[in-house]
Structure 1
């Protein structure tokens, strides 16, 4: 199953920092990551089918943050296609920060569902990108915290059921699913995970290219 992007289609990318990719610093507002790569490659392949591309990703955002801004940032724009990547900030990542944020999978799924319901009711096409965590072994400094392989094991245990929740929601709403976690696991087995993400979360340029290529396989 694919989504057909007809001339004049409006596509919105939204989510956290992976989608944001410093969009406010970019001339076209798409940032410097996979949304820009998708838009550029589509324009190259299909000059006869112009598409309007929007990006409302914000670094650090969780499902609850998307909910708080969903109406003005997403629904009011009335996009034809919405692509969502959120969830990595809803895992144990933020238990290392001062807010100690933890959200049970059931609450994560319920919040995500509330994002999708009005879009589905409006007939918006949906693309859900799995949150992902690459199995890098290097220790990364995050403020006063030291993120090592043991910490990532805890994160993985927390993230896996949330990935499954995204898959379940894709089935519920007939959305296209981009299995990014599986994709990066396969790629990492070939080259090593650091090639795709230095910290296991934020993609390298190659990682963004992989996301863009996978995204483009979902549309025609």
Structure 2
């Protein structure tokens, strides 16, 4: 796969990362780091990087806006980062209607099928990152089936897997004194760099 063209990133607040306040609408997180890396690394290629992250989104929210925010834009690459809020809401708002793994997989499959049927885009599947900077946190335990579903989607749809969860856990196991997040979920600049580097390493292989 030649890495160029329209690359669309879709997800929750980790992807959004201030894009509404950014004149370029790219945001200030991992999407901007990837965009800047691609432009400086491949100066003779064209890149149209689009950020469609929306804070608070769970996977049903992606389904509701998939036609408008993905299909209508006809991207060459679609990078999906979702799952954190599907688990986090089980912890911070247990009274809400929840998205459990079976529904998560069902909707994720529908997103991938729509993309395959209605675009020529290559799919990039990002594992959900972390909930708490402790590998044994309740959030990280609950994330595991969602991570496995993302891995399954990558295999089933011959997509590119970005092993973000694995890389984040490896970092936490290193006991580095530097944090990755501001609150256990949302990235600081180090967390954004780790996400961007993991994405680049995975995608450049193809």
Same-fold call, TM cutoff 0.5: yes
Q: C-alpha displacement at 1:157, in angstroms?
A: 3.1
The runs of 5 or more residues in structure 2 that have no matched partner are none
Matched residue, 1:5: 3
Task: Rate the CA distance shift 1:34–1:109 in 2: closer, same or farther, 3 A.
Answer: same
Q: C-alpha displacement at 1:116, in angstroms?
A: 0.8
What does the per-residue CA deviation read over 1:62-120, in whole Å, with 9 as the maximum and x for residues that have no partner?
00000011101111000010000000010143442375232221111001111111212
What does the per-residue CA deviation read over 1:157-200, in whole Å, with 9 as the maximum and x for residues that have no partner?
32111110111111000010011111011112224486112322
Q: C-alpha displacement at 1:204, in angstroms?
A: 1.3
Does 1:183 pair with 2:182?
Answer: no
Matched residue, 2:92: 96
Matched residue, 2:105: 109
Distance 1:64 1:48 in 2: 38
Q: How many residues align?
A: 203
Q: Output the aligned Cα RMSD.
A: 2.0
The runs of 5 or more residues in structure 1 that have no matched partner are 138-148
Task: Rate the CA distance shift 1:193–1:16 in 2: closer, same or farther, 3 A.
Answer: farther
Matched residue, 2:38: 42
The TM-score, its normalising length taken from structure 1, stands at 0.85
Distance 1:39 1:94 in 2: 33
Query: Is the CA contact 1:61–1:89 (under 8 Å) kept in the aligned structure 2?
Result: yes
Does 1:130 pair with 2:127?
Answer: yes
The TM-score, its normalising length taken from structure 2, stands at 0.91
Does 1:169 pair with 2:153?
Answer: yes
> Which ranges of 4 or more aligned residues in structure 1 deviate by more than 4 Å?
none
Distance 1:130 1:34 in 2: 14
Q: C-alpha displacement at 1:4, in angstroms?
A: 1.8
Distance 1:71 1:175 in 2: 20
